Chain A
Amino acid sequence: MNAMGGEAIPAGEAQVLRLGRLDLVADPAGALFIPDEGMLVVADLHLEKASSFAGRGVFLPPYDTRATLAVVARLVARYAPRAVVALGDSFHDAGAHARLEVRDREALAALQSGRDWLWVTGNHDPEVPRAAGGERAAELRLADVVLRHAPGDNGTAEIVGHLHPAARVRLTGRSVRRRCFAAGARRIVMPALGALTGGLNLRDAAFRPLFPDGVTALVLGQRLYAIGWPLLLPD
């Protein structure tokens, strides 16, 4: 199977959201597109997570970077964005970029070419090496919305990553656990896009202070499924 072309990412319909004065398109693959800016936002790519584990003698399949970049490539092909924002934890550790294989490095460069690319810094990658191309910033402000890696105080509307939200949904005795967007009135927490990145249940205490007015899970699948609190289960 061709690794670049063969990634199964849903081609289903996206969903339109509004946060502050910003119109957003939530894509079922787990990204946001901001039409007014021509901007694609992806979060928590955690590139080279597997090779990071290998250093501890845990040999996960070393294909996570190419799998993750393939998803980004499909999103870029779908939206042809003028700019891409990677919302932090793009690299799993400080040495991750240096460990990129040549083909993955080239794939990343191809994605960056002809458009603006912004690495928002995260706790895993406080410093993104120059070799990774693009620009760096701790945060980005669009209209009245801030884009940053980890949630800030509840003052400004914001789009963040960091928490890797996942939802567990049960109906008629069966349950499904999937990555999701966590969407509230003033904040959207994006799902992690990294191929080997696990998820934190939306019912976890860490989410509680972030959504004082309630939260909806937009669960990833062939399309986005909007599931409210009563149907969300803890792990």
Chain B
Amino acid sequence: MPTAAALPPAFTAWFAGRGWHVRRHQLDLLASARAGRSALLVAPTGAGKTLAGFLPSLVELAQAPDRAGLHTLYISPLKALAVDIARNLEAPVTEMGLPVKIETRTGDTPAHKRARQIARPPHILLTTPEQLALLLAHREAETFFASLRRVVLDELHALVTSKRGDLLSLGLMRLFALAPQVTTVGLSATVREPEVLARYLVPQRAGVAAPDIITVKEGARPHIGILESRLAPPLAGHTALHAMEEIYRAIRDHRLSLVFVNTRMQAEFVFQELWRLNDDGLAIALHHGSLDAGQRRRVEAAMAEGRLKAVVCTSTLDLGIDWGDVDLVINVGAPKGASRLMQRIGRANHRLDEPSKAFLVPANRFEVLECRAALDAVAEAAQDTPDARTGALEVLAQHVLGRACAGPFDADAFYEEVRGAAPYAGLSRRDFDDVVAFVATGGYALRSYERFARIVRGKDGLWRVANPRVAQQYRLNVGTIVEEPMLRVRLARPRRAGGMTVVRGGRVLGEVEEYFAEGLTPGDTFVFAGEVLRFEGIHENEVIASRTAAGTDPKVPSYAGGKFPLSSFLASRVRHMIANPDDWHRLPKPVANWLMAQKMKSRLPRPGELLVETFPRGGRYYLVTYPFEGRLAHQTLGMLLTRRLERARLRPLGFVANDYGLAAWGTADIGLAVTQGRLSLADLFAPDMLGDDLEDWLAESALMKRTFRHCAIIAGMIERRFPGQEKTGRQVTMSTDLVYDVLRRHEPDHVLLRAARADAATGLLDVRRLGDMLVRVAGRIVHAPLDHLSPLSVAVMLEIGREMVYGEAAEHMLAEAEAAMMEEAMR
């Protein structure tokens, strides 16, 4: 049983000097470390997690003043977080006079310092997963890591849900191989299944003890509720305009508020609307990932200094950086997941023993249900951590090349090492060998690039890099984050002079996604960086925009859909809530009335079943259904349904999807076809649509091509583009599309296509979730043939007009464009 006596006197004195007492979990971690065991610390924000993670290292280093070499490695998902933690650690180290050298290593670390760190490492190095991969591929890796004792993984719950988590898990196995004495500690927010998360921390092998799991009880219950607004939330939409007055008043009545939104576009909109109401001149700022870095730093500094009243922000402020004395969190739109909500609420009152205060602001009626479900989940401290990942093959390919850069390796031993990583525990030898073959020569079955090999197997049976240029290539390609092509936004007014467009360079405001800029026509007005701008054109990879007169309304709708899909955990709660009228008294009256109307006019979708409504409207026939599986899964379902409807000669024209349901429509009476027995809904929604239909659709799907592009870049099949290189992302996209077409036709089972399909299954297409749903509702599909649209369907139908893609839509569109030209010519 650990007690405070386990701490050296200097530490006890330091805690006492601050009026603190050492916490239970901090001592528990110390005990685990002393026993040579790895540990997972699960604690809510504000529990002193970070200090707990470092305490064993500091104690050990304090007792070995002459120790040289790297002792502790700290990995964080954010560069900024690493820098912030390093700063926070300096306080105890300086105040206790400990002989401990702490440094960070990020993309910003200058070359001379990086070289020095290799030659003379600090005791504690704080870095990111990408930098760890680079260090491991270094020729000096073996020496550098030989003395390593401890690895601290911060925000582990956030890291493991992505390909970065895959990369990190592989890197960790490398560390165990280079320094077998290493113990790890994972720091995590509250999760549902800590045992699953803990598997990341140790090699998955017989004889390796599972990490200790140390859980800190939740602190004070947060004060959290739905923000009451005078106006009822609309049926659809994402602006939360109806509640803007109340949001403004809440900001005015608190010290410092964080207003979280789900997308950059929403951030711009809310910021704009708040300033419209800002008669008190409150210092309200904007913070999102597309803004110029300098601008963001200024907002962060102003926050820390207490000069701001509110910051409207996206998930860029989600993770654990402590920016200031926040006393209110407002979450606009649905939180999409209970864990995400807890994380955001935790930003307020960053102290464990004081309650945080938060308001949810649902932007439409479905979101009211979702917010209610999230509140219930928070009240029960229930969590919706996503499932453990299956390691991506493209990430493994990158790791294999990195491994070879560090020195020769034996394939058998390396395979065993890789399978120690939790996401790769189930990796087959065939997949592993295919990945190695891909790294070596492209892995093509019918023809190979033997003589251009990047890695070769020597007579001694070991694989090594073929030439030094390969290592250089690896260093340029490291990492799993593939940026969407972005364009800088420059404030300027282009002038025409002698037939040429001259752009006088103005200020850069930030970046927008290329696809957004593509949708603009000169003269369009849109909101960016908190201003209404007029789009002038694209000039040399920059968006040129000018300021508009005060009071101009933005013309281009600035909401482009949520990034985070509704978690299946919340979805299931929403389904139950809808099915249970006894529960409705907890909902705002307009929402309860809406559900009541649905009950009378159609029927309520019950938890275990799938409700399918059909009705005619405006000369079209509609099919609307409510799987509640998130927008991505619904989009995939919509694509596949329209293919099947087409085959059944029901002439579908298009579909729309949101997080809650989807609507498809066409010119033939779908409902009649069902009631007459010509169309079986069981067949229409049969899980076998994920077989051939999916395969056919994937052949032409732009989403699949984008997924393939990401995989090809991560795996190193094609090179990343860097600033200054001529080609824009758009041109690169085109050429990977060609690669995809050729490869798919000639070697459909190539390892990179397998990787892309696996990625699509959980990523942009969310096939896995769709498959689970189809199996769940098989035999329980309920048809409601209606004369006109139902109350629930309105909320889905309002999405119409945003998108329509399927089958030969591209051909139709070109034909239409041509016809439009003809019409103009004949006028």
Q: Are A235 and B728 in contact (CB under 8 A)?
A: yes
A169-B814, A171-B817, A231-B817 as given contacts; A57 in contact with B743, CB under 8 Å? no
**Is A184 an interface residue, CB under 8 A from the partner?**
no
B518 touches A175 (CB 8 A): yes
Chain A residues whose CB sits within 8 angstroms of the CB of B824 once the complex forms: 230
B822 and chain A: residue at smallest CB distance:
A226
Q: How far is the CB of A9 from chain B (nearest CB, A)?
A: 12
Give the distance to chain B from A23, nearest Cβ to Cβ, in Å.
Answer: 22
Taking CB atoms and an 8 Å cut-off, the chain A residues in 211-235 that contact chain B are 219, 221-222, 225-228, 230-231, 233-235
Complexed CA–CA distance, A6 and B747 (Å): 13
List the B side residues contacting A61 at CB < 8 Å.
442, 444, 739, 742-743, 746-747, 750
B818 contacts A177, C-beta separation under 8 Å: no
Contact partner of A58 (CB less than 8 A), chosen from B438, B719, B748, B811, is: B719
Q: Which residues of B contact A222 (CB under 8 A)?
A: 808, 811
Is B115 an interface residue when CB atoms closer than 8 A count as contact? no
**Bound-state Cα–Cα, A170 to B816, Å:** 10
A158 at the interface (CB under 8 A from B): no
Q: Which residues of B contact A175 (CB under 8 A)?
A: 518
| Contact across chains for B738 and A198 when beta carbons are under 8 A apart | yes
Least distance between A161 CB and chain B CB atoms (Å): 17
Contacts of B685-739 to chain A: CB distance below 8 A: 717-719, 728, 730-731, 734-735, 738-739
Chain B residue with the shortest CB-CB distance to A196:
B738
Stretch at the interface among B445-453, B527-535, B625-633: B445-453
Q: Does B820 contact A (CB under 8 A)?
A: yes
Chain B residues in 8 Å Cβ range of A51: 449
- Our pick among B717, B719, B741, B821 for the contact of A231 (Cβ within 8 Å) is B821
- Is A63 in contact with B442, judged by CB distance below 8 angstroms? no
Partner of B449, one of A7, A62, A101, A227: A62
Give the contacting residue for B821; candidates A177, A227, A233; CB below 8 A.
Answer: A227
List residues of B (60-91) whose CB comes within 8 Å of A's CBs: none
Which B536-591 residues have a C-beta within 8 angstroms of A?
538
Interface residues of B in 781-827 (CB under 8 A from A): 804-805, 808-811, 813-818, 820-821, 824
Query: Contact partner of A54 among B449, B728, B738, B818, CB < 8 A?
Result: B449
| Count of chain B residues with a beta carbon within 8 Å of a chain A beta carbon | 50
Q: Report if A67-B745 is in contact (Cβ < 8 Å); known contacts: A54-B449, A57-B469.
A: yes
Contacts A62-B447, A173-B519, A198-B734; A55 near B743 (Cβ below 8 A):
no
Q: Which of B519, B717, B745, B813 interacts with A60 by CB under 8 Å? A: B717
**A58 CA to B438 CA, complexed, in Å:** 11
Interfacial residues of chain A within 96-122, with CB under 8 A of chain B in the complex: 101
Tell me the residues in window 161-188 of chain A with beta carbons closer than 8 Å to chain B beta carbons.
166, 169-178
Count A interface residues, CB 8 Å.
46
Tell me how far the C-beta of B811 lies from the nearest C-beta in chain A, rounded to whole angstroms.
6
Q: Is the CB of B738 within 8 A of A62?
A: no
For residue A221, which residues in chain B have a CB less than 8 angstroms away from its CB?
A: 810-811, 814
- Among the listed A7, A59, A67, A226, which residue makes an inter-chain contact with B441, where contact means beta carbons less than 8 Å apart? A59
Residue of B nearest to A197 (CB): B738
How far, in Å, is A102 (CB) from chain B's closest CB? 11
Residue from the set B470, B717, B742, B750 with the largest chain A CB neighbour count within 10 Å: B742
In contact, A54 and B442 (Cβ under 8 angstroms): yes
Cβ–Cβ contact B814 & A63, under 8 A:
no
Is the pair A231, B820 in contact by a Cβ cutoff of 8 Å?
yes
A162 and B809 CA atoms in complex are apart in Å by 30
A173 to B750, CA, bound (A): 35
Least distance between B521 CB and chain A CB atoms (Å): 9
Shortest distance in angstroms between B698's beta carbon and chain A's nearest beta carbon? 15
Asked if A149 lies at the interface with its beta carbon under 8 angstroms from chain B, I say: no
Contact A62 B442 (CB under 8 A): yes
Q: Does A64 contact B (CB under 8 A)?
A: yes
Establish whether residues B821 and A59, one from each chain, have CB atoms under 8 Å apart when the complex forms.
Answer: no
Q: Are A233 and B518 in contact (CB under 8 A)?
A: yes
B675 sits at the interface (CB 8 A) = no
User: A1 is contacted by which of B449, B470, B745, B817 (Cβ under 8 Å)?
Assistant: B745
- A232-B442 Cα distance, complex, nearest whole Å: 37
Specify which chain A residues have a CB less than 8 angstroms from the CB of B810 in the assembled complex.
176, 221
CB neighbours (8 Å) of B804 from chain A are: 174
| Minimum CB distance partner of B466 in chain A | A57
B-chain residues with CB within 8 Å of residue A55 when the two chains form the complex: 452
Interface bits B447-465 vs A (CB < 8 Å: 1, else 0): 1110010100000000000
Beyond A173-B519, A174-B805, is A62–B444 a contact (Cβ under 8 Å)?
A: yes
Check A92 for interface membership: any CB of B closer than 8 A. Answer: no
Of all A-B residue pairs in the complex, the 4 with the closest CB atoms, nearest first, are A59-B442, A63-B746, A61-B743, A225-B814
Can you show 24 pairs from A to B with CB atoms below 8 A apart? A6-B745, A54-B449, A58-B717, A58-B718, A58-B719, A60-B718, A62-B442, A62-B449, A63-B447, A63-B745, A64-B742, A67-B745, A171-B820, A174-B804, A174-B809, A177-B734, A195-B738, A198-B731, A198-B734, A198-B738, A221-B810, A222-B811, A231-B821, A235-B731
Told that A59-B443, A64-B742, A225-B818 touch, could you supply 7 new A-B pairs with CB distance under 8 A?
A1-B748, A51-B449, A61-B747, A63-B746, A171-B813, A227-B818, A231-B820
